Amino acid sequence: MSDAVICRDLWKSYRPRRPIGLKSFVVGPRSAAEGDRFVRQWALAGVNFRVAKGQAFGVVGHNGSGKTTLLSVLLGTIRKERGEVDVRGRVASLLELGAGFHGELTGRENVALYGSILGMTLREIRERFDAIVEFSELDRAIDSPLRTYSAGMIVRLGFSIIMHSPADVFLIDEVLAVGDARFQDKCRHHLREFKKRNGTLVIVSHNMAELSEICDEGICLELGEVVEEGPIERVIAGYRARSATPPPVASAARP
């Protein structure tokens, strides 16, 4: 069984790269921690894991443990400092659901635009358009401008477009299923079908019940380090155990 995602000794630093202005040059930053959420140096420290094709891989951890950073590195929007990351196949992410959605444009136009952002050709978009609209349950609202949509409708549309994009690997950040209970069942069913078609999932979530239902293996991150890995039940148990005690402030990890 070949691997879809390989991560080898991944290190990503947290050196603040927040935007600066001339004021900082002239006046100096107001405090050493200005703008920084955390004090530690490494967002990700020596992360190793593999995900086989057709697997669902869960990533759990406290807030700020590096989960979203990890997904961003897998997606390619964030550069790593050292280590290797290999993602085989086309990747679609739910990191920024509806990025590029325009309120003035209709749902139909946004499907075309968002689909193109995700890398779909116009032909692919045309072929899948009806399925996308049907899955999102938007019916005739598809021809209304997006600014008339409720928040739920927007998320359903974004979710639907991504689910229908020709990706081999889905990266999901906390938005596992949206909408009402019935729609959520539909999403879960769709993800299971995706797995059967040898699609790979990497899922960040705080919803342990959902993770244990869909994922096979996973890791638990704490302060950027992998503290648990293996079958998802073991990872979740490890995370729960750590949740009982407050996390340490700084890590001693060195590359």
Q: Is 144 helix (H, G, I), strand (E, B) or coil?
A: coil
CB 189 within 8 A of CB 197: no
Least CB distance to another protein at residue 18 (A)? 7
Q: What DSSP assignment string belongs to 79-95? A: --SEEEEEE-S-EEE-T
Options 34, 36, 96, 127; binder of another protein; rule CB under 8 A:
96
Counting contacts by CB under 8 A, is residue 18 touching another protein?
Answer: yes
Counting contacts by CB under 8 A, is residue 136 touching another protein?
Answer: no
Options 20, 131, 241, 250; binder of another protein; rule CB under 8 A:
20
- Phi then psi for residue 76, to 5 deg, are 100, 5
Counting contacts by CB under 8 A, is residue 145 touching another protein?
Answer: yes
CB 90 within 8 A of CB 162: no
Counting contacts by CB under 8 A, is residue 139 touching another protein?
Answer: no
Q: Which of residues 102-131 bind another protein (CB under 8 A)?
A: 102-105, 109, 112-113, 116-122
Angle 122-136/107-117 helices, nearest 10 degrees?
130
Complex with another protein: residue 49 or 239, whichever CB lies closer = 49
Complex with another protein: residue 100 or 231, whichever CB lies closer = 100
218 has which bridge partners? 58, 230
Say how many residues make up the chain. Answer: 255
**Positions in the binding site for another protein (CB under 8 A):** 17-22, 72, 75-79, 85-87, 90-93, 95-96, 98-100, 102-105, 109, 112-113, 116-122, 145
